[in-house]
């Protein structure tokens, strides 16, 4: 067969395959054009998941008649003044979107250039252009796309449900809106407006935080840690969610580079790495981060949809991101997400889970309120349904005065232990419930990591080496990791075919059942090996330390003395990341006294 040049309409249809993958990509291209045109408000309508009508209206600069005619031509753009691809400041630059959309749908563009007396309209139906004609429009541009993919039935078959396509459109609008907080957006589906975002004026310190709340939820806004860092000409700004706000996938990672929302593997992976062991396996944080760098430091011309990028200095970007996130998370210290306590309170107020039947000794619970609360757990100890603290001691009175100081700490003064599992503490204006195992586990883990970083984990020799029977595979896995484990304070040797002998353990761990730890370590190590041969060593070490901490920490079910409890609280306050345990669960919840009063109708 002889070579032939393809007709323009076919070329456009082929390009459309990459540029407009689904209705949400049309929405993206049209919003980007409106943003590039300097719009201050953008209204979007999408019916039937975008397969009915997509209509995007803006109040931007508009186009005059000749520009309008050119706009639907292939590779015609107003955004590359010279032929330089290394200084792209606009979202578009390829001149492909409008002709591609016109090739696979019924497209109409109405526009009025700023200051012009007349508005014009042009239509393209499956690649067939109609002549320009005058129309009525007060300003800006309106682009209407009907029957998307009707000209390419093969593509139409790949569309997901109307609901899924609508959701993808809403997500796209949110991503763009987040990156452009000074533009007003609205999204409607033909029946109602589903999203309305007012502009957030720039210049405020929390520029965009209000919008962030609208998009990622008020929970996020409440628990977002500000992130701000720079390195050379690269700056990073935004908000990162506390690790306890994790999600099952990366859908709540909102990342923008130079105002362009991206779904970049490098960035997403880096974010995950920065949270590291603060998140449970396979979970993702919520965050919105905006990276700004000189345009020649990043290549946006990697993919026709422009959602992928290439950085000139990926390592620089990576370390800026990791440093900034670690810093923000470190500053959060023991904070856990407020939404957890909120959810707990809401459950308490639900009538079906309220305390019924009421226990006969109800009166002693009044100690929870106001001033009286100070004595709760001590004076009432005898009848209280709580485990007593240590035996009442002669210096209990003395402790009460120390108490006042303890209560001034963020996690307050320990008042009681419930079920030998939870510590109840009281601050000046809240009640704090601590999961003693979860909290201690994080503390031990952070101590282990610290001593590992500071030159090594101190070991303690077992008086009698302990032989641990496992299966052959587990014994082999552990034996092959013996050198690695020794650096972490655990000295083992193979013992026969299916056992190992433990000679030394990290002294930080105190007394604990060694056998359980070894079993867990063996299955962890095996799992990690099969998962990915190239797992980062550091990640693997962290994981071993975390497993050790889990075994070497105060278990649920151990009775603690008041001194032990207060010591635990004070150490939590001083330890980074102590708001969640190594499995990403919270270590404590805080119930505001005001909320508790509300529960009882006192407010
Ligand atoms: N909403 C709009 N307002 C003003 N001009 C627009 C608008 N949409 C498109 N244009 C013009 O049409 C041209 C072609 O648009 P498009 O095909 O998306 O390519 P690109 O955005 O890559 O330039 C743009 O360069 C711009 O000049
Ligand atoms: Mg464009």
**Ligand 1 center to 77 CA (angstroms):** 6
**Ligand 2 center to 472 CA (angstroms):** 62
Inter-residue contact 188 to 44 (CB < 8 Å): yes
The closest residue, in CA terms, to atom 4 on ligand 1 is 62
Task: Find out whether the beta carbon of 34 lies less than 6 Å from any atom of ligand 1.
Answer: yes
Task: Find out whether the beta carbon of 37 lies less than 6 Å from any atom of ligand 1.
Answer: yes
Number of helices and strands in the chain (H, E): 19, 23
The closest residue, in CA terms, to atom 7 on ligand 1 is 33
Task: Find out whether the beta carbon of 93 lies less than 6 Å from any atom of ligand 1.
Answer: yes
- Residue 362 is predicted with a pLDDT of 30
Give the mean pLDDT of 13-26. 90
- Residue 545 is predicted with a pLDDT of 85
Residue 61 CA, closest ligand 1 atom number:
4
CA 326/CA 572 separation, integer angstroms? 18
- 507: buried, middle or exposed (CB in 10 Å: 19+, 13-18, 0-12)? middle
The secondary structure element, H or E, covering residue 268 is helix 265-275
Comparing 371 with 64, which gets the higher pLDDT? 64
Say yes or no to pLDDT of 244 above 90. Answer: no
Residue 32 CA, closest ligand 1 atom number:
21
Say yes or no to pLDDT of 378 above 80. Answer: no
Give the mean pLDDT of 65-88. 90
Task: Find out whether the beta carbon of 575 lies less than 6 Å from any atom of ligand 1.
Answer: no
Strand partners, 241: 224
Comparing 83 with 20, which gets the higher pLDDT? 20
CA 425/CA 412 separation, integer angstroms? 6
Residue 100 CA, closest ligand 1 atom number:
17
Residue 93 CA, closest ligand 1 atom number:
22
SS3 80: coil
Inter-residue contact 232 to 294 (CB < 8 Å): no
Max distance between CA atoms of the chain, in angstroms, equals 103
Say yes or no to pLDDT of 204 above 70. Answer: no
- Residue 34 is predicted with a pLDDT of 98
Task: Find out whether the beta carbon of 98 lies less than 6 Å from any atom of ligand 1.
Answer: yes
Task: Find out whether the beta carbon of 92 lies less than 6 Å from any atom of ligand 1.
Answer: yes
Q: Which one of the ligands is nearest to 80 CA?
A: 1
Q: What is the dihedral of CA 42, 48, 53, 54, to 10 degrees?
A: 30
Q: Which one of the ligands is nearest to 102 CA?
A: 1
Contacts of 207 (CB under 8 A, 6+ apart): 181, 200, 201
CA 364/CA 377 separation, integer angstroms? 10
Beta-carbon neighbour count of residue 162 at 10 Å?
Answer: 16
Say yes or no to pLDDT of 32 above 80. Answer: yes
pLDDT mean across residues, the chain:
83
The closest residue, in CA terms, to atom 27 on ligand 1 is 78
Give the mean pLDDT of 181-208. 82
Task: Find out whether the beta carbon of 33 lies less than 6 Å from any atom of ligand 1.
Answer: yes
The closest residue, in CA terms, to atom 1 on ligand 1 is 34
The closest residue, in CA terms, to atom 9 on ligand 1 is 33
Task: Find out whether the beta carbon of 71 lies less than 6 Å from any atom of ligand 1.
Answer: yes
- Residue 67 is predicted with a pLDDT of 97
CA 573/CA 567 separation, integer angstroms? 10
CA 20/CA 27 separation, integer angstroms? 9
Residue 80 CA, closest ligand 1 atom number:
23
CA 207/CA 204 separation, integer angstroms? 5
43-75 burial, b if ≥16 CB within 10 A, otherwise e?
bbbbbbbbbbbbbbbbbbbbbbbeebbebbebe
**Ligand 1 center to 33 CA (angstroms):** 5
Comparing 333 with 150, which gets the higher pLDDT? 150
Q: What are phi and psi of 192, to 5 degrees?
A: -155, 170
Task: Find out whether the beta carbon of 79 lies less than 6 Å from any atom of ligand 1.
Answer: yes
Work out the pLDDT band at 369, boundaries 50, 70, 90.
Answer: very low
User: Is the preceding peptide bond at 486 cis, omega within 30 degrees of 0?
Assistant: no
Give the mean pLDDT of 497-505. 91
- Among the listed residues 331, 323, 296, the one whose alpha carbon sits nearest the alpha carbon of residue 310: 296
Helices of type H across 105-151: none
SS3 133: strand
């Amino acid at each position: 067969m002889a070579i032939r040049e393809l007709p323009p309409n076919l070329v456009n249809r082929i390009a459309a395959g990459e540029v407009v993958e689904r209705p949400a990509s049309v929405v993206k291209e049209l919003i980007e054009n409106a943003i590039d045109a300097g719009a201050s408000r953008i209204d979007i309508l999408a019916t039937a998941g975008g397969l009915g009508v997509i209509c995007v209206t803006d109040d931007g600069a508009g186009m005059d008649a000749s520009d309008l005619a050119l706009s639907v031509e292939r590779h015609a753009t107003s955004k590359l003044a010279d032929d330089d691809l290394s200084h792209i400041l606009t979202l578009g630059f390829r001149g492909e979107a409008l002709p591609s959309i016109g090739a696979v749908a019924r497209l109409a563009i109405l526009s009025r250039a700023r200051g012009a007396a007349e508005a014009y309209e042009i239509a393209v139906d499956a690649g067939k252009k109609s002549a320009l004609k005058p129309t009525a429009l007060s300003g800006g541009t309106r682009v209407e796309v009907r029957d998307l993919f009707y000209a390419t039935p093969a593509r139409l078959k790949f569309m997901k449900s109307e609901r899924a396509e609508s959701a993808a459109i809403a997500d796209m609008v949110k991503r763009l809106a987040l990156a452009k907080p000074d533009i007003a957006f609205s999204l409607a589906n033909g029946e109602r407006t589903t999203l309305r975002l007012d502009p957030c004026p720039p210049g405020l310190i929390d520029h965009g935080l209000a919008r962030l709340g609208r998009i990622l939820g008020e929970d996020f806004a409440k628990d977002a840690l500000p992130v701000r860092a720079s390195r050379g000409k690269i700056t990073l700004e935004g908000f990162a969610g506390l690790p306890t706000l994790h999600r099952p996938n990366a859908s709540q990672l909102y990342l923008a580079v130079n105002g362009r929302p991206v779904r970049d593997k490098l960035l997403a992976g880096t974010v995950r790495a920065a949270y590291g062991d603060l998140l449970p396996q396979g979970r993702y944080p919520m965050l919105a981060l905006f990276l700004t760098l000189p345009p020649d430091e990043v290549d946006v011309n990697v993919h026709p949809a422009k959602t992928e990028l290439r950085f000139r200095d990926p390592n620089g970007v990576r370390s800026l991101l990791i440093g900034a996130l670690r810093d923000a998370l470190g500053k959060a210290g023991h904070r856990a997400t407020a939404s957890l306590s909120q959810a707990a309170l809401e459950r308490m107020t639900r009538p079906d889970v309220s305390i019924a039947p009421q226990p006969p000794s109800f009166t002693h619970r009044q100690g929870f309120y106001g001033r009286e609360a100070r004595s709760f757990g001590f004076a009432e100890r005898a009848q209280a349904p709580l485990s007593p603290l240590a035996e009442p001691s002669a210096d209990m009175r003395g402790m009460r005065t120390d108490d006042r100081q303890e209560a001034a700490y963020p996690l307050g003064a320990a008042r009681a232990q419930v079920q030998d599992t939870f510590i109840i503490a009281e601050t000046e204006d809240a009640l704090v419930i601590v999961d003693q195992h979860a909290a201690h586990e994080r503390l031990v883990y952070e101590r282990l990591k610290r001593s590992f970083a500071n030159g090594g984990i101190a070991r303690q020799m077992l008086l009698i080496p302990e032989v641990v029977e496992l299966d052959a595979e587990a014994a082999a896995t552990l034996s092959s990791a013996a050198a690695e484990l020794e650096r972490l304070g655990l000295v083992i040797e193979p013992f026969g075919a299916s056992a190992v002998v433990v000679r030394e353990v990290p002294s930080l761990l105190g007394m604990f059942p060694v056998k359980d730890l070894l079993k867990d370590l063996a299955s962890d190590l095996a799992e990690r090996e099969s998962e990915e041969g190239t797992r980062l060593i550091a990640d693997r070490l962290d994981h071993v330390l975390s497993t050790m901490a889990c075994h070497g920490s105060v278990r649920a079910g151990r009775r603690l003395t008041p001194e032990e409890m207060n010591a635990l609280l004070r150490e939590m306050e001083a330890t980074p990341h102590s708001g969640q345990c190594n499995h990403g669960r919270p270590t404590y919840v805080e119930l505001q006294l005001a909320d508790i009063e509300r529960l009882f109708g006192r407010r």
